[in-house]
Structure 1
Protein backbone atom coordinates (compact mmCIF):
# COMPACT_ATOMS: atom_id res chain seq x y z
CA UNK A 1 0.00 0.00 0.00
CA UNK A 2 1.44 3.35 -0.99
CA UNK A 3 1.35 6.58 1.05
CA UNK A 4 -1.72 8.07 -0.81
CA UNK A 5 -3.89 5.03 -0.08
CA UNK A 6 -2.84 5.16 3.57
CA UNK A 7 -3.84 8.85 3.82
CA UNK A 8 -7.29 8.26 2.27
CA UNK A 9 -7.90 5.35 4.65
CA UNK A 10 -7.04 7.52 7.63
CA UNK A 11 -9.42 10.31 6.46
CA UNK A 12 -12.22 7.77 5.91
CA UNK A 13 -11.80 6.27 9.38
CA UNK A 14 -11.63 9.75 10.89
CA UNK A 15 -14.86 10.84 9.14
CA UNK A 16 -16.64 7.63 10.18
CA UNK A 17 -15.54 8.16 13.76
CA UNK A 18 -16.87 11.71 13.77
CA UNK A 19 -20.24 10.59 12.37
CA UNK A 20 -20.50 7.85 14.95
CA UNK A 21 -19.63 10.24 17.80
CA UNK A 22 -22.19 12.77 16.53
CA UNK A 23 -24.84 10.02 16.37
CA UNK A 24 -24.14 8.95 19.95
CA UNK A 25 -24.33 12.55 21.15
CA UNK A 26 -27.65 13.12 19.37
CA UNK A 27 -29.08 9.86 20.80
CA UNK A 28 -27.98 10.85 24.29
CA UNK A 29 -29.63 14.24 24.03
CA UNK A 30 -32.84 13.27 22.23
CA UNK A 31 -33.31 9.66 23.22
CA UNK A 32 -33.50 8.57 19.59
CA UNK A 33 -31.31 7.92 16.63
CA UNK A 34 -30.64 10.97 14.40
CA UNK A 35 -32.75 11.15 11.20
CA UNK A 36 -31.19 10.14 7.93
CA UNK A 37 -29.80 13.14 6.00
CA UNK A 38 -31.94 14.36 3.05
CA UNK A 39 -30.95 16.40 0.02
CA UNK A 40 -32.50 19.82 -0.27
CA UNK A 41 -33.82 20.64 -3.72
CA UNK A 42 -34.84 24.15 -4.97
CA UNK A 43 -37.88 24.05 -7.16
CA UNK A 44 -39.54 27.10 -8.83
CA UNK A 45 -42.84 26.95 -10.60
CA UNK A 46 -43.22 28.73 -13.96
CA UNK A 47 -45.17 31.72 -12.55
CA UNK A 48 -42.57 32.40 -9.86
CA UNK A 49 -39.76 32.14 -12.38
CA UNK A 50 -41.42 34.65 -14.76
CA UNK A 51 -42.08 37.10 -11.91
CA UNK A 52 -38.50 36.86 -10.69
CA UNK A 53 -37.18 37.44 -14.19
CA UNK A 54 -39.38 40.55 -14.58
CA UNK A 55 -38.22 42.00 -11.25
CA UNK A 56 -34.60 41.40 -12.17
CA UNK A 57 -35.11 43.11 -15.55
CA UNK A 58 -36.75 46.16 -13.91
CA UNK A 59 -33.96 46.49 -11.35
CA UNK A 60 -31.37 46.24 -14.10
CA UNK A 61 -33.09 48.94 -16.16
CA UNK A 62 -33.37 51.30 -13.16
CA UNK A 63 -29.73 50.77 -12.32
CA UNK A 64 -28.66 51.46 -15.90
CA UNK A 65 -30.75 54.67 -16.11
CA UNK A 66 -29.32 55.97 -12.85
CA UNK A 67 -25.74 55.28 -13.90
CA UNK A 68 -25.95 56.74 -17.42
CA UNK A 69 -26.35 60.32 -16.12
CA UNK A 70 -28.00 63.22 -17.95
CA UNK A 71 -25.91 66.18 -19.18
CA UNK A 72 -26.59 69.33 -17.23
CA UNK A 73 -28.73 71.80 -19.13
CA UNK A 74 -26.89 75.06 -19.87
CA UNK A 75 -27.99 78.00 -17.78
CA UNK A 76 -29.43 80.84 -19.84
CA UNK A 77 -29.64 84.14 -18.05
CA UNK A 78 -32.91 85.90 -18.77
CA UNK A 79 -32.60 89.64 -19.39
CA UNK A 80 -33.83 91.93 -16.67
CA UNK A 81 -36.98 94.00 -17.38
CA UNK A 82 -34.95 97.21 -17.46
CA UNK A 83 -32.52 95.76 -20.01
CA UNK A 84 -35.42 94.55 -22.19
CA UNK A 85 -37.08 97.94 -22.04
CA UNK A 86 -33.88 99.76 -23.00
CA UNK A 87 -33.24 97.33 -25.87
CA UNK A 88 -36.80 97.76 -27.19
CA UNK A 89 -36.71 101.54 -26.95
CA UNK A 90 -36.01 103.05 -30.42
CA UNK A 91 -32.94 105.26 -30.86
CA UNK A 92 -33.67 108.94 -31.45
CA UNK A 93 -32.29 110.84 -34.44
CA UNK A 94 -31.42 114.52 -34.74
CA UNK A 95 -32.00 116.01 -38.20
CA UNK A 96 -31.57 119.54 -39.56
CA UNK A 97 -34.45 120.67 -41.78
CA UNK A 98 -34.24 123.93 -43.73
CA UNK A 99 -35.50 125.53 -46.90
CA UNK A 100 -39.17 125.92 -47.74
CA UNK A 101 -40.52 124.72 -44.39
CA UNK A 102 -42.40 126.72 -41.78
CA UNK A 103 -40.08 126.12 -38.80
CA UNK A 104 -36.58 125.37 -40.04
CA UNK A 105 -34.14 123.98 -37.52
CA UNK A 106 -33.29 120.80 -35.64
CA UNK A 107 -35.96 118.16 -35.13
CA UNK A 108 -35.82 114.96 -33.07
CA UNK A 109 -37.54 111.83 -34.32
CA UNK A 110 -37.44 108.06 -33.86
CA UNK A 111 -35.19 105.76 -35.86
CA UNK A 112 -36.91 104.49 -38.98
CA UNK A 113 -38.69 107.80 -39.61
CA UNK A 114 -38.81 109.25 -43.10
CA UNK A 115 -38.16 112.65 -44.65
CA UNK A 116 -41.89 113.38 -44.58
CA UNK A 117 -41.90 112.91 -40.80
CA UNK A 118 -38.98 115.31 -40.37
CA UNK A 119 -40.66 117.96 -42.52
CA UNK A 120 -43.89 117.60 -40.55
CA UNK A 121 -41.98 118.23 -37.31
CA UNK A 122 -40.47 121.31 -38.96
CA UNK A 123 -43.95 122.77 -39.41
CA UNK A 124 -44.68 121.32 -42.83
CA UNK A 125 -44.05 122.61 -46.33
CA UNK A 126 -44.55 126.23 -47.30
CA UNK A 127 -46.98 127.22 -49.98
CA UNK A 128 -44.32 127.37 -52.69
CA UNK A 129 -42.20 124.43 -51.52
CA UNK A 130 -40.81 122.22 -54.25
CA UNK A 131 -41.77 118.70 -53.18
CA UNK A 132 -39.74 117.23 -56.04
CA UNK A 133 -36.54 118.55 -54.45
CA UNK A 134 -36.64 115.89 -51.74
CA UNK A 135 -37.67 112.25 -51.51
CA UNK A 136 -40.40 112.30 -48.87
CA UNK A 137 -40.37 108.50 -48.56
CA UNK A 138 -36.64 108.17 -47.85
CA UNK A 139 -35.61 107.02 -44.34
CA UNK A 140 -33.61 109.68 -42.52
CA UNK A 141 -30.21 109.20 -40.89
CA UNK A 142 -28.87 110.79 -37.75
CA UNK A 143 -27.16 114.15 -38.31
CA UNK A 144 -28.27 114.71 -41.90
CA UNK A 145 -29.40 118.03 -43.40
CA UNK A 146 -32.67 118.07 -45.35
CA UNK A 147 -33.07 121.08 -47.62
CA UNK A 148 -36.47 121.64 -49.20
CA UNK A 149 -36.34 123.67 -52.39
CA UNK A 150 -38.93 126.22 -53.53
CA UNK A 151 -40.60 127.33 -56.74
CA UNK A 152 -41.31 130.85 -57.99
CA UNK A 153 -44.68 132.29 -58.91
CA UNK A 154 -44.52 130.52 -62.25
CA UNK A 155 -43.96 127.15 -60.60
CA UNK A 156 -40.33 126.88 -61.71
CA UNK A 157 -37.71 125.69 -59.19
CA UNK A 158 -35.64 128.48 -57.68
CA UNK A 159 -31.90 127.98 -57.97
CA UNK A 160 -30.16 127.11 -54.74
CA UNK A 161 -27.91 130.18 -54.98
CA UNK A 162 -30.81 132.64 -55.08
CA UNK A 163 -31.87 134.25 -51.78
CA UNK A 164 -34.84 132.61 -50.13
CA UNK A 165 -38.21 134.30 -49.71
CA UNK A 166 -38.90 136.54 -46.74
CA UNK A 167 -41.33 134.99 -44.30
CA UNK A 168 -43.99 137.62 -43.64
CA UNK A 169 -45.05 135.84 -40.44
CA UNK A 170 -41.58 135.45 -38.89
CA UNK A 171 -39.32 138.11 -40.37
CA UNK A 172 -38.43 141.09 -38.20
CA UNK A 173 -38.61 144.72 -39.35
CA UNK A 174 -35.08 144.69 -40.78
CA UNK A 175 -35.75 141.58 -42.90
CA UNK A 176 -39.07 143.00 -44.15
CA UNK A 177 -37.32 146.17 -45.39
CA UNK A 178 -35.44 144.02 -47.92
CA UNK A 179 -38.72 143.67 -49.86
CA UNK A 180 -39.44 146.15 -52.69
CA UNK A 181 -41.64 149.02 -51.56
CA UNK A 182 -41.36 148.17 -47.86
CA UNK A 183 -39.62 150.82 -45.81
CA UNK A 184 -39.06 151.27 -42.09
CA UNK A 185 -42.56 152.59 -41.37
CA UNK A 186 -44.37 149.98 -43.44
CA UNK A 187 -42.27 147.15 -41.95
CA UNK A 188 -43.27 148.31 -38.45
CA UNK A 189 -46.95 148.32 -39.49
CA UNK A 190 -46.68 144.75 -40.86
CA UNK A 191 -45.17 143.48 -37.59
CA UNK A 192 -47.79 145.32 -35.51
CA UNK A 193 -50.64 143.97 -37.67
CA UNK A 194 -49.64 140.30 -37.42
CA UNK A 195 -49.19 140.67 -33.64
CA UNK A 196 -52.68 142.17 -33.34
CA UNK A 197 -54.58 140.05 -35.86
CA UNK A 198 -52.53 136.89 -36.26
CA UNK A 199 -50.38 135.51 -39.10
CA UNK A 200 -51.00 136.15 -42.79
CA UNK A 201 -52.54 133.13 -44.54
CA UNK A 202 -51.46 134.41 -47.99
CA UNK A 203 -49.39 137.25 -49.40
CA UNK A 204 -52.61 138.93 -50.52
CA UNK A 205 -53.61 139.26 -46.85
CA UNK A 206 -50.87 141.90 -46.56
CA UNK A 207 -53.32 144.40 -48.12
CA UNK A 208 -55.05 144.66 -44.73
CA UNK A 209 -52.01 146.65 -43.57
CA UNK A 210 -52.35 150.39 -44.13
CA UNK A 211 -50.06 151.49 -46.94
CA UNK A 212 -49.89 148.13 -48.75
CA UNK A 213 -51.60 148.02 -52.12
CA UNK A 214 -51.75 145.75 -55.19
CA UNK A 215 -48.51 147.20 -56.58
CA UNK A 216 -46.52 146.12 -53.53
CA UNK A 217 -48.21 142.71 -53.51
CA UNK A 218 -47.19 142.19 -57.13
CA UNK A 219 -43.62 143.35 -56.48
CA UNK A 220 -42.99 141.01 -53.56
CA UNK A 221 -44.96 138.02 -54.89
CA UNK A 222 -41.80 136.03 -55.74
CA UNK A 223 -39.77 137.34 -52.83
CA UNK A 224 -42.09 136.75 -49.86
CA UNK A 225 -43.94 133.83 -48.42
CA UNK A 226 -46.34 133.05 -45.59
Structure 2
Protein backbone atom coordinates (compact mmCIF):
# COMPACT_ATOMS: atom_id res chain seq x y z
CA UNK A 1 0.00 0.00 0.00
CA UNK A 2 1.42 3.26 -1.18
CA UNK A 3 1.18 6.44 0.71
CA UNK A 4 0.04 9.67 -0.98
CA UNK A 5 2.82 12.05 -1.84
CA UNK A 6 2.65 15.47 -0.41
CA UNK A 7 1.57 18.18 -2.93
CA UNK A 8 4.65 20.19 -3.66
CA UNK A 9 5.69 22.26 -6.59
CA UNK A 10 7.88 19.52 -7.86
CA UNK A 11 5.09 16.99 -7.69
CA UNK A 12 2.72 19.30 -9.56
CA UNK A 13 5.27 19.85 -12.28
CA UNK A 14 5.89 16.14 -12.58
CA UNK A 15 2.19 15.43 -12.95
CA UNK A 16 1.87 17.99 -15.64
CA UNK A 17 4.79 16.51 -17.51
CA UNK A 18 3.36 13.01 -17.33
CA UNK A 19 -0.06 14.22 -18.39
CA UNK A 20 1.53 15.77 -21.49
CA UNK A 21 2.79 12.38 -22.55
CA UNK A 22 -0.56 10.71 -22.08
CA UNK A 23 -3.19 13.36 -23.34
CA UNK A 24 -3.71 13.97 -27.08
CA UNK A 25 -2.05 17.02 -28.65
CA UNK A 26 -5.37 18.84 -29.18
CA UNK A 27 -6.08 18.72 -25.50
CA UNK A 28 -2.62 19.92 -24.75
CA UNK A 29 -2.93 22.89 -27.14
CA UNK A 30 -6.28 23.82 -25.68
CA UNK A 31 -4.89 23.73 -22.25
CA UNK A 32 -1.76 25.61 -23.18
CA UNK A 33 -3.35 28.24 -25.52
CA UNK A 34 -4.43 31.36 -23.74
CA UNK A 35 -8.00 32.37 -24.07
CA UNK A 36 -8.49 35.21 -26.53
CA UNK A 37 -11.44 37.38 -26.00
CA UNK A 38 -13.43 38.42 -29.07
CA UNK A 39 -12.89 42.05 -29.88
CA UNK A 40 -16.04 43.94 -30.68
CA UNK A 41 -16.40 45.04 -34.48
CA UNK A 42 -15.85 48.70 -34.83
CA UNK A 43 -18.28 50.26 -37.31
CA UNK A 44 -17.37 53.38 -39.34
CA UNK A 45 -18.41 55.32 -42.47
CA UNK A 46 -18.58 53.24 -45.65
CA UNK A 47 -16.63 54.62 -48.66
CA UNK A 48 -17.40 53.56 -52.24
CA UNK A 49 -14.54 53.71 -54.69
CA UNK A 50 -15.23 53.89 -58.49
CA UNK A 51 -12.56 52.91 -60.97
CA UNK A 52 -11.50 55.11 -63.90
CA UNK A 53 -13.02 52.77 -66.49
CA UNK A 54 -16.40 52.84 -64.80
CA UNK A 55 -16.41 56.65 -64.70
CA UNK A 56 -15.53 56.85 -68.42
CA UNK A 57 -18.31 54.42 -69.32
CA UNK A 58 -20.87 56.43 -67.38
CA UNK A 59 -19.77 59.66 -69.11
CA UNK A 60 -20.08 58.09 -72.57
CA UNK A 61 -23.57 56.83 -71.79
CA UNK A 62 -24.67 60.29 -70.63
CA UNK A 63 -23.30 61.96 -73.78
CA UNK A 64 -25.12 59.48 -76.03
CA UNK A 65 -28.35 60.00 -74.11
CA UNK A 66 -28.14 63.78 -74.52
CA UNK A 67 -27.42 63.43 -78.27
CA UNK A 68 -30.39 61.11 -78.82
CA UNK A 69 -32.66 63.44 -76.87
CA UNK A 70 -31.53 66.41 -78.98
CA UNK A 71 -32.27 64.57 -82.24
CA UNK A 72 -35.73 63.59 -81.02
CA UNK A 73 -36.54 67.15 -80.00
CA UNK A 74 -35.31 68.51 -83.35
CA UNK A 75 -37.41 66.08 -85.38
CA UNK A 76 -40.45 66.55 -83.24
CA UNK A 77 -40.23 70.38 -83.16
CA UNK A 78 -42.69 72.77 -84.86
CA UNK A 79 -42.94 72.56 -88.64
CA UNK A 80 -42.07 75.23 -91.18
CA UNK A 81 -43.83 78.54 -90.76
CA UNK A 82 -46.20 79.24 -93.66
CA UNK A 83 -46.49 82.95 -94.46
CA UNK A 84 -49.95 83.81 -95.73
CA UNK A 85 -50.18 86.51 -98.40
CA UNK A 86 -51.36 89.92 -97.32
CA UNK A 87 -54.87 90.42 -98.66
CA UNK A 88 -55.36 93.88 -97.23
CA UNK A 89 -54.76 95.58 -100.58
CA UNK A 90 -56.72 93.13 -102.77
CA UNK A 91 -59.75 95.34 -103.19
CA UNK A 92 -59.59 96.03 -106.92
CA UNK A 93 -62.48 93.64 -107.53
CA UNK A 94 -64.86 95.52 -105.22
CA UNK A 95 -67.59 97.59 -106.88
CA UNK A 96 -66.48 101.17 -107.41
CA UNK A 97 -62.87 100.42 -106.52
CA UNK A 98 -60.20 101.68 -108.88
CA UNK A 99 -56.54 100.76 -109.04
CA UNK A 100 -53.90 103.49 -109.23
CA UNK A 101 -52.37 104.19 -112.60
CA UNK A 102 -49.81 101.52 -113.47
CA UNK A 103 -50.89 99.28 -110.57
CA UNK A 104 -52.84 96.75 -112.63
CA UNK A 105 -51.03 93.40 -113.05
CA UNK A 106 -49.00 93.24 -116.23
CA UNK A 107 -49.32 96.95 -116.95
CA UNK A 108 -46.80 99.74 -116.88
CA UNK A 109 -46.92 103.49 -117.16
CA UNK A 110 -43.27 103.88 -118.16
CA UNK A 111 -44.25 104.80 -121.72
CA UNK A 112 -45.75 108.08 -120.43
CA UNK A 113 -42.88 109.05 -118.14
CA UNK A 114 -40.22 111.55 -119.16
CA UNK A 115 -37.19 109.85 -120.66
CA UNK A 116 -39.00 106.54 -121.21
CA UNK A 117 -38.72 104.64 -124.46
CA UNK A 118 -41.43 105.27 -127.01
CA UNK A 119 -44.23 102.75 -126.79
CA UNK A 120 -42.77 101.08 -123.68
CA UNK A 121 -45.38 99.42 -121.47
CA UNK A 122 -49.13 99.24 -121.84
CA UNK A 123 -51.99 100.68 -119.87
CA UNK A 124 -54.89 98.83 -118.39
CA UNK A 125 -57.47 97.53 -120.88
CA UNK A 126 -60.12 100.11 -121.63
CA UNK A 127 -57.92 103.08 -120.67
CA UNK A 128 -57.80 105.59 -123.56
CA UNK A 129 -54.35 106.49 -124.84
CA UNK A 130 -53.00 108.95 -127.34
CA UNK A 131 -50.46 107.83 -129.92
CA UNK A 132 -48.27 110.78 -130.89
CA UNK A 133 -45.39 110.72 -133.36
CA UNK A 134 -42.49 112.86 -132.13
CA UNK A 135 -39.68 113.60 -134.61
CA UNK A 136 -36.87 116.06 -135.04
CA UNK A 137 -34.47 117.22 -132.35
CA UNK A 138 -35.42 114.76 -129.59
CA UNK A 139 -33.28 112.05 -128.02
CA UNK A 140 -35.63 109.15 -128.80
CA UNK A 141 -37.83 110.00 -131.80
CA UNK A 142 -40.78 107.75 -132.48
CA UNK A 143 -44.34 107.01 -131.42
CA UNK A 144 -45.13 107.61 -127.75
CA UNK A 145 -48.18 106.77 -125.66
CA UNK A 146 -49.72 109.58 -123.67
CA UNK A 147 -52.80 109.89 -121.45
CA UNK A 148 -55.66 112.12 -122.58
CA UNK A 149 -55.10 115.81 -121.94
CA UNK A 150 -51.36 115.69 -122.62
CA UNK A 151 -49.52 118.67 -124.09
CA UNK A 152 -46.77 119.10 -126.66
CA UNK A 153 -44.25 119.38 -123.84
CA UNK A 154 -45.40 116.02 -122.47
CA UNK A 155 -44.90 114.40 -125.88
CA UNK A 156 -41.36 115.77 -126.13
CA UNK A 157 -40.49 114.53 -122.64
CA UNK A 158 -41.92 111.09 -123.45
CA UNK A 159 -39.58 110.96 -126.45
CA UNK A 160 -36.53 111.38 -124.24
CA UNK A 161 -36.53 115.16 -124.09
CA UNK A 162 -35.26 117.76 -126.52
CA UNK A 163 -31.66 117.88 -127.70
CA UNK A 164 -29.45 120.91 -127.12
CA UNK A 165 -29.83 121.79 -130.78
CA UNK A 166 -33.64 122.00 -130.53
CA UNK A 167 -35.45 125.30 -130.98
CA UNK A 168 -38.23 124.93 -128.41
CA UNK A 169 -39.20 128.58 -128.80
CA UNK A 170 -40.66 127.70 -132.19
CA UNK A 171 -43.19 125.38 -130.54
CA UNK A 172 -46.15 125.99 -128.31
CA UNK A 173 -45.32 123.52 -125.53
CA UNK A 174 -48.69 124.14 -123.86
CA UNK A 175 -50.72 123.16 -126.91
CA UNK A 176 -52.79 119.98 -126.43
CA UNK A 177 -51.99 116.94 -128.56
CA UNK A 178 -54.48 114.59 -130.17
CA UNK A 179 -54.37 110.94 -131.14
CA UNK A 180 -52.39 110.39 -134.34
CA UNK A 181 -50.67 113.76 -134.21
CA UNK A 182 -47.07 114.35 -135.24
CA UNK A 183 -44.89 116.80 -133.31
CA UNK A 184 -41.69 117.89 -135.02
CA UNK A 185 -39.06 119.62 -132.90
CA UNK A 186 -37.02 121.83 -135.27
CA UNK A 187 -33.50 123.14 -135.28
CA UNK A 188 -33.01 126.90 -135.26
CA UNK A 189 -34.24 128.18 -138.62
CA UNK A 190 -36.38 125.13 -139.43
CA UNK A 191 -40.15 125.15 -139.60
CA UNK A 192 -41.89 123.56 -136.62
CA UNK A 193 -44.65 121.14 -137.56
CA UNK A 194 -47.42 120.16 -135.18
CA UNK A 195 -50.91 118.74 -135.41
CA UNK A 196 -50.67 117.18 -138.90
CA UNK A 197 -53.23 114.43 -138.31
CA UNK A 198 -53.59 114.06 -142.06
CA UNK A 199 -50.32 114.50 -143.93
CA UNK A 200 -52.08 115.47 -147.12
CA UNK A 201 -54.60 117.81 -145.49
CA UNK A 202 -55.23 121.45 -145.99
CA UNK A 203 -52.07 123.48 -145.41
CA UNK A 204 -54.09 126.03 -143.48
CA UNK A 205 -55.00 123.38 -140.95
CA UNK A 206 -51.46 123.13 -139.63
CA UNK A 207 -48.91 125.48 -138.18
CA UNK A 208 -46.12 124.13 -140.39
CA UNK A 209 -46.83 126.30 -143.42
CA UNK A 210 -46.85 124.85 -146.91
CA UNK A 211 -46.90 121.13 -147.29
CA UNK A 212 -49.42 120.36 -144.57
CA UNK A 213 -46.79 119.09 -142.10
CA UNK A 214 -44.82 116.92 -144.53
CA UNK A 215 -41.07 116.59 -144.13
CA UNK A 216 -38.89 118.77 -146.33
CA UNK A 217 -36.60 116.47 -148.32
CA UNK A 218 -34.04 119.24 -148.73
CA UNK A 219 -33.64 120.06 -145.02
CA UNK A 220 -34.43 116.84 -143.14
CA UNK A 221 -31.46 114.96 -141.74
CA UNK A 222 -31.03 111.18 -141.67
CA UNK A 223 -32.52 110.82 -138.16
CA UNK A 224 -35.63 112.72 -139.21
CA UNK A 225 -36.01 110.72 -142.40
CA UNK A 226 -35.91 107.48 -140.39
CA UNK A 227 -39.23 108.46 -138.82
CA UNK A 228 -40.94 107.95 -142.17
CA UNK A 229 -42.64 104.59 -142.68
CA UNK A 230 -40.41 102.09 -144.48
CA UNK A 231 -37.29 104.26 -144.16
CA UNK A 232 -34.47 102.75 -142.15
CA UNK A 233 -30.95 104.00 -141.41
CA UNK A 234 -29.54 102.74 -144.72
CA UNK A 235 -32.26 104.28 -146.89
CA UNK A 236 -32.15 107.55 -144.95
CA UNK A 237 -28.40 107.83 -145.59
CA UNK A 238 -28.99 107.15 -149.30
CA UNK A 239 -31.49 110.02 -149.48
CA UNK A 240 -29.05 112.40 -147.78
CA UNK A 241 -26.16 111.23 -150.00
CA UNK A 242 -28.24 111.68 -153.16
CA UNK A 243 -29.13 115.21 -152.07
CA UNK A 244 -25.48 116.02 -151.35
CA UNK A 245 -24.30 114.65 -154.70
CA UNK A 246 -27.05 115.94 -157.01
CA UNK A 247 -28.25 119.00 -155.15
CA UNK A 248 -31.66 119.71 -153.61
CA UNK A 249 -34.65 117.72 -154.78
CA UNK A 250 -36.59 119.64 -157.41
CA UNK A 251 -39.82 117.76 -156.68
CA UNK A 252 -41.19 114.92 -154.61
CA UNK A 253 -41.11 112.67 -157.68
CA UNK A 254 -37.31 113.04 -157.73
CA UNK A 255 -37.26 110.84 -154.64
CA UNK A 256 -37.69 107.86 -156.97
CA UNK A 257 -34.17 108.47 -158.26
CA UNK A 258 -32.75 107.35 -154.91
CA UNK A 259 -31.50 103.76 -154.95
CA UNK A 260 -33.77 101.52 -152.88
CA UNK A 261 -36.98 103.51 -153.28
CA UNK A 262 -39.36 101.55 -155.48
CA UNK A 263 -42.95 102.25 -156.46
CA UNK A 264 -44.42 100.77 -153.25
CA UNK A 265 -42.12 102.78 -150.99
CA UNK A 266 -42.69 105.94 -152.98
CA UNK A 267 -46.46 105.55 -152.70
CA UNK A 268 -46.13 105.45 -148.90
CA UNK A 269 -43.86 108.51 -148.82
CA UNK A 270 -45.52 110.67 -151.49
CA UNK A 271 -47.90 112.46 -149.11
CA UNK A 272 -45.47 112.57 -146.18
CA UNK A 273 -42.67 114.59 -147.79
CA UNK A 274 -42.33 117.85 -149.69
CA UNK A 275 -39.67 120.09 -151.15
CA UNK A 276 -39.28 123.64 -149.91
Pairwise TM-score range, normalised by the shorter structure: 0.3 to 0.5
Structure-2-length-normalised TM-score:
0.28
Higher strand share: 1
